Structure 1
Amino acid sequence: MENFICTTCGVQAEKSVAEPDTCTICNEERQYVSPNGQAWTTLEEMIQAETYKNEIVQEEAGLYNLSTSPNFAIGQTAYLVQGRNFNLLWDCITYIDPKTIGEIKKLGGIDAIALSHPHYYSTQVEWAEAFDASIYIHEDDKEWVTRPSDRIIFWSGESLELAEDIVLHRVGGHFKGAAAAEWKTGSDGKGVLLTGDIIRVVADRQWVTFMYSYPNFIPLPASIVERMAGQLAGISFNRMYDAFHRIVQEDAGAAVQRSAKRYVDALNGELFDT
């Protein structure tokens, strides 16, 4: 029995004797099955290959980014937030090995793991077991969990306070239960928002965007983006980090609001004439 990992999305399935026929995460319009066909690996195979290593880099006081080199699957970045007496792993990466565990324990370990959406569930149960941590997923995305665990806590409502300075917000959009993490004491007390790719920073780092599917270029309706912007208008944050290590360094709250307006204007045919 193995916990097989989809090589396209990097999400781990529950134990099975043989490789699953399909990947639940990839086999729908927000993701994709590789043109080369469905393929699987295991964490044990990845470690034994000695191909991958994790890099842990400090972003600012109390915040570290975690990424795997070379890129595996989607290639996202996870973040370790050192809150007030509470360490949060925001989103997850697939590869985890003893070296990574040792380095993170030196930084105080992990008290909880919170996920923005199913594409980054990765090997979340492996991480939770390594650090004796709970996993927080919004109940609206419960159906996408491919490896069940007693460590998973399905939270409900529009927000959840994990610690004195860390709050999860259900934003929706990309997935119904899609969430962002507000770190109130980040950016020298001016606030940080961690968004996965529920909201992505674009090439021009003063702007962000919103999508239903990024790989398949399916936009969100204007009404959904307006609702998301309205929710985020009530949160104070100066800096924003997305899942691919793109950062809005200053005045990120305003960047989200003007980006939402531009997005809606474009969909409504009011931004340009071409």
Structure 2
Amino acid sequence: MLSIILCRTCGNAYPSNDDLPQVCPICADDRQYLLEDGQVWLDVSEIAGDHRFTLSEPEPGVTRIDVTPDFGIGQKTMLVNTPAGNLLWEPSGYIDDDLLQTVTDRGGVAAVASSHPHLVGASVVWAREFAAPFYFNTDDRRWITHPDPSIELWRDSRQILPGLTLVQAGGHFPGSSVAHWAVGADDRGVLFCGDTIAVVANRTASFMRSYPNSIPLSPRLVRQIVDAVEPYDYDRIYGAFGSTIDHDARRIVHESADRYIAWVTDAIRDPDERSLVISPVS
């Protein structure tokens, strides 16, 4: 296995033979954070055996890989099967030989991608192991932490396997994207959204610049996200952390966007709210 260094907070990989930055640039950005004890770097060999992985199949053709306990941000990795090969979507930073063998037994990897730089994990390791391209949006290239010849830059949209298309929507990051799987959900269409469109607790959608730091997006960017996915048929959405909008996802995304925009523009008021009179500061 390729030796790599991982940021403990976000779980993204860095090449071990390069000089490490003082602080992970992913975590220094206002969308992310560092743990209270500051920047900690880990060699992947240091955590071998500290985590385990489990597999589940939320629908035919999709294998979800959960690493427990969570490592880094804790995204759920998806392996999407097509006749032309598998997409590995948003792999964890944690990787070991057993996991590599398990994925090999399920057909290997023909393409690697993620929705945005936070959820890249050990993508380069997977790409090298299977001689597969790692698709990274060119508008986020300043956030590449593990430069490698396997990285293939793209913009706007890109069919990476038959029936699997990356779609740039922006918002959370300029290059934030979704993966559209045309035959998913019994041919009704699936979006793998990461944090581009977040599936929240009540199985509706939300949109943020920073989820952990509660920094909202502008109405313009929320409309941009919804418009970007509008040409694609989809009835189901898989979020980054295990939550799913199982059906009627297009309607729910539209209604969620309308709700979000109405609240941030003060276009609606809760009838139970009290009006507050705020005295000027003297």
Secondary structure of 1:4 counterpart: strand
Check whether the contact 2:85–2:108 (CA below 8 A) recurs between aligned residues: no
Structure 1 unaligned blocks of 5 or more: none
Check whether the contact 1:54–1:95 (CA below 8 A) recurs between aligned residues: no
Equivalent-residue separation in structure 2 for 1:41 and 1:15 (angstroms): 10
Structure 2 partner of 1:263: 260
Check whether the contact 2:91–2:119 (CA below 8 A) recurs between aligned residues: yes
- Pair member with larger Rg: 2
1:43 aligns with 2:44: yes
Over 3 Å counting, the alpha-carbon distance change for 1:37 and 1:52 in structure 2 is same
Secondary structure of 1:245 counterpart: coil
1:26 aligns with 2:23: no
Secondary structure of 1:25 counterpart: helix
The amino acid that maps onto 2:4 is: N
Structure 2 partner of 1:195: 193
Check whether the contact 2:170–2:224 (CA below 8 A) recurs between aligned residues: no
* Paired residues for 1:68-217 under 5 Å: 68-156=67-155, 158-205=156-203, 207-217=204-214
Structure 1 partner of 2:216: 219
Question: What's the CA shift string for 1:189-230, capped at 9, x where partnerless?
Answer: 11100000111111111x100000001000000111012112
Over 3 Å counting, the alpha-carbon distance change for 1:171 and 1:17 in structure 2 is closer
Structure 2 unaligned blocks of 5 or more: 274-282
Check whether the contact 1:113–1:134 (CA below 8 A) recurs between aligned residues: yes
Equivalent-residue separation in structure 2 for 1:135 and 1:17 (angstroms): 20
Question: What's the CA shift string for 1:164-211, capped at 9, x where partnerless?
Answer: 210110010000011100000011111100000111111111x10000
Check whether the contact 2:44–2:94 (CA below 8 A) recurs between aligned residues: yes
Check whether the contact 1:200–1:209 (CA below 8 A) recurs between aligned residues: yes
What is the CA RMSD across the aligned residues, in angstroms? 1.3
Same amino acid, percent of matched pairs: 35
Equivalent-residue separation in structure 2 for 1:31 and 1:192 (angstroms): 27
Question: What's the CA shift string for 1:28-58, capped at 9, x where partnerless?
Answer: 10001111111111111111xx211122211
Secondary structure of 2:134 counterpart: strand
Structure 2 partner of 1:252: 249
Secondary structure of 1:67 counterpart: strand
- State TM-score, norm by structure 2: 0.92
Structure 1 partner of 2:279: none
Equivalent-residue separation in structure 2 for 1:271 and 1:77 (angstroms): 35
| Number of positions where the alignment pairs a residue of Structure 1 with one of Structure 2 | 269
The amino acid that maps onto 1:193 is: L
Equivalent-residue separation in structure 1 for 2:126 and 2:229 (angstroms): 29
Equivalent-residue separation in structure 1 for 2:246 and 2:181 (angstroms): 14
Equivalent-residue separation in structure 2 for 1:147 and 1:231 (angstroms): 28
Check whether the contact 1:165–1:184 (CA below 8 A) recurs between aligned residues: yes
Question: What's the CA shift string for 1:1-45, capped at 9, x where partnerless?
Answer: x63211000011233477541101100100011111111111111
Equivalent-residue separation in structure 1 for 2:47 and 2:36 (angstroms): 22
1:232 aligns with 2:233: no
